[in-house]
Amino acid sequence: MPSLNHVHPFLFEHLDIRGAIVSLDSTWRSLLAGRGYPPAVANLLGEMSAVTTLIGANLKQPGRMTFQLRGEGPVNLLVLDCDEQLRLRGMAHWRPEALHGQLLTPDLLGHGQLALTLDTAGMRQPYQSLVPLVGDSIAAIFEHYLSQSEQQPTRLMLAAGPERAVGLFLQKLPSADARDADGWNRIQHMLATLRAPEMLGQAPVDLLRRVFPEEDVRVYPPRPVSHHCPEDWEKVQNMLRSFGRAECDAILREKGEIVIRDDICNHNYRLDGAAVAALFEPPSPTLH
């Protein structure tokens, strides 16, 4: 199968049910690279990567959307961040001593909450919402969140493995029952036949044709998705300048270097004494 990193929006034209399907291939592998996550942790992060992309595809203005799933279980933090260009970054935190056996998703996450932060152009301040974790899977947690926030019945199917993460989103529009009283029920029964290996093993449009063979589905042009987490030395340098020379020198005396860890992008920034001194040198005079 060719490399797939796209969201495909679609519509059941005669049912007024909308949807989208996302497949993350090299994007997912890039986000996962160098992390060393156990399979159970990686799969949760992959499923959350897929659903974050599906929701992020609705961003209409330049900005950024961040989901944080915090729990009391062995996997105590999942963070996924997406901008209007569908550029993803994300991470997971877990407690290795608590991660043993074949734990199900509710046991992995425990009690907790799902937080959304939305910061787009034109907003005076970021929008934030917080809901408890309700559901026995990442898909169920986000179904509950979307049904509450958008007031429309929503279904999600998510799957993730070491090579690919896939998500399928369906939402019933207000006029769906008037178009076909049994349409939403019928589509849900078809969706229930879908299994994770099939989701991970087929191209997105082929999967839609297989699951909904008798429905009239209009598939819109795909949108590309990427993992985007470059180093940002300017941000690190400005942060250290805000600490002040005295505090930076104190760290150097104790540690011999300053190390800044960027968890979400999996970068370490290291600065020795010369690099720190250069931060606080006055700018060179310019000739006029």
CA nearest to 134, candidates 125, 126, 143: 143
Separation of alpha carbons 188 and 186, rounded Å:
5
Helix (H) or strand (E) holding 18: strand 17-24
pLDDT greater than 60 at residue 2: no
Separation of alpha carbons 155 and 139, rounded Å:
8
Q: Which CATH class is domain 5-227?
A: alpha beta
CB distance 135 to 143 below 8 Å? yes
Residues paired with 267 in a beta bridge: 262
pLDDT greater than 90 at residue 220: yes
Decide: helix, strand or coil at residue 167: strand
User: Would you state the CATH architecture of domain 233-279?
Assistant: Alpha-Beta Complex (3.90)
pLDDT greater than 80 at residue 113: yes
For 41-100, what is each residue's pLDDT tens digit? 999 999 999 999 999 998 888 999 999 999 999 999 999 999 999 999 999 999 988 777
Burial class (CB in 10 A: 0-12, 13-18, 19+), 195: exposed
DSSP for 55-78?
HHTT--SSEEEEEEEEESSSEEEE
For residue 3, the model assigns a pLDDT of 57
Q: What is the dihedral of CA 168, 174, 178, 179, to 10 degrees?
A: -40
For residue 191, the model assigns a pLDDT of 94
Q: To which residue do tokens 């209409």 refer?
A: 60
For residue 283, the model assigns a pLDDT of 67
Separation of alpha carbons 57 and 101, rounded Å:
36
CA nearest to 195, candidates 162, 171, 217, 168: 168
Structure tokens at 282: 């006055």
Query: Average pLDDT of the chain?
Result: 91
Separation of alpha carbons 174 and 201, rounded Å:
33
pTM beyond 0.95, yes or no: no
Separation of alpha carbons 124 and 227, rounded Å:
28
Exposed e or buried b for every residue in 46-73, given b needs 16+ CB within 10 A? bbbbbbbbbbbbebeeebbbbbbbbbeb
Decide: helix, strand or coil at residue 9: strand
**Residue-range domain boundaries for the chain:** 5-227, 233-279
For residue 61, the model assigns a pLDDT of 85
For 152-210, what is each residue's pLDDT tens digit? 899 999 999 999 999 999 999 999 899 999 999 999 999 999 999 999 999 999 999 99
Separation of alpha carbons 46 and 161, rounded Å:
7
What pLDDT band is residue 103 in, cutting at 50, 70 and 90? Answer: confident
